[in-house]
Structure formats: structure tokens, C-alpha cells
Amino acid sequence: MVNKKEESAANGTEESESQDQSSSQETKEVKKEKDKNEMVTIPLSEYASQIEEIDHLTAKADEFSDGWQRERAEFANYRKRISRDLDTQKLNFKSDIIKKYLAVKDDLERALKNRPESLDDEPWVSGIELINQKISNILNTEGIELISADGLAFDPTIHEAISNEENDEVESGFIIEVVQQGYKLGDRVIRPALVRVSK
């Protein structure tokens, strides 16, 4: 059996330990509060050097930001230029292929224009007319437009004069006859119209 003196001594030790712990916690809290209230003092020379360092780093950051934005703008311009070049290249390829179709269309139109009247009822003539119409439909689908010329004023940007002739019926500078049809794709002339012009 534990005697009462030992029990009270044990209790006293526990109480003193808990009091020590609570007092040490209070001391730490007081110290923290003091640390918060204390002003940090930096020597003026060190403060000036820190401000200088901040200014230097800010200038560097601005320089990097400007460089990055410049590079970004240059890359955007590069992408636009490449896209434009590809579009131009596609248009050139398209124009080259269409010129080959135009040569065939010219031959068909010449054949139909110069056919003898006695052959008008022949079925093969109708077949050639259908082929010519089919080529015209293909060109229309691709956005190819006929250049207007007959009876209009001569325009060197879309017409090509093969002769200048005196003509009492047609005003000077106007087209007398279209020798070969011209075509354009949007604003781009694929082939100018070959014309005879009055002078």
C-alpha cells in the first residue's frame, strides 16, 4: 500500500512539471510578441544597395518581357508570311492547271465556231457542245470568271491588244473583236483577253 506522503509527493512533482511547461509556453509567447513588436533596423548603406538590386532586377525583368513580346510578334508575323506564301503557291499551281483546261476549251470553241452548217444536226456536234459546257462548269466551280471585253474600252490590265485598226463603226480605244477569251480568278488575271482595238 502506497502511503499518503508518497502519493502527495508524486502529485506535487506532476503539478510542478505542468507548471514549468505552462510557464515555458508563456515565456515563448511573450518572446514571440516582443519579436513582433521589435523594429528591424537595416543600415542605410545596405538599404540603398537592396533598392539598387531591386531596380536592377526590375530592369532585367522588363528587358526579358520586352524581348519575349518582340519574339512573339516576330513569330506571329512569320506564321502570317508562311500562310500567305502557301496561299500564293496554291494559287499558282491552280492557275497552271487551269491554263491547260483553257487551251482545250479554246480548241473546242474554235471547232464549234467554224463547223459547217450542214453538220449542225449531227449528234457528235451536240456531244462536243456538251463537253465544252462541262469544262465551263468546272471552271465556274473553281471560281474562274470570263473577262468582259467585247465592245468595251480597252483596259491593259485585263486585255492584250494584238492589233490597232482604223474602224469607222467603233470609237477609238474600244475593242472591235475578241480573238481569244480572257479569264481571271478573283482579282488575279490568269490569262488576258486577246483583242483587236480601234484607233
User: Architecture of domain 144-199 in CATH?
Assistant: Roll (2.30)
Instruction: Print the SS3 string covering the chain.
Output: CCCHHHHHHHHHHHHHHHHHHHHHHHHHHHHHHHHHHCCCCCCHHHHHHHHHHHHHHHHHHHHHHHHHHHHHHHHHHHHHHHHHHHHHHHHHHHHHHHHHHHHHHHHHHHHHHCCCHHHCCCHHHHHHHHHHHHHHHHHHHCCEEECCCCCCECCCCCEEEEEEECCCCCCCCEEEEEEECCEEECCEEEECEEEEEEC
The residues spanned by each domain of the chain are 144-199
Task: Supply the pTM of this predicted model.
Answer: 0.58
Q: What is the pLDDT of residues 137-193, one digit of tens each?
A: 999 998 999 998 888 999 999 999 999 998 888 888 999 999 999 999 988 899 999
Q: Is the pLDDT of residue 22 over 70?
A: no
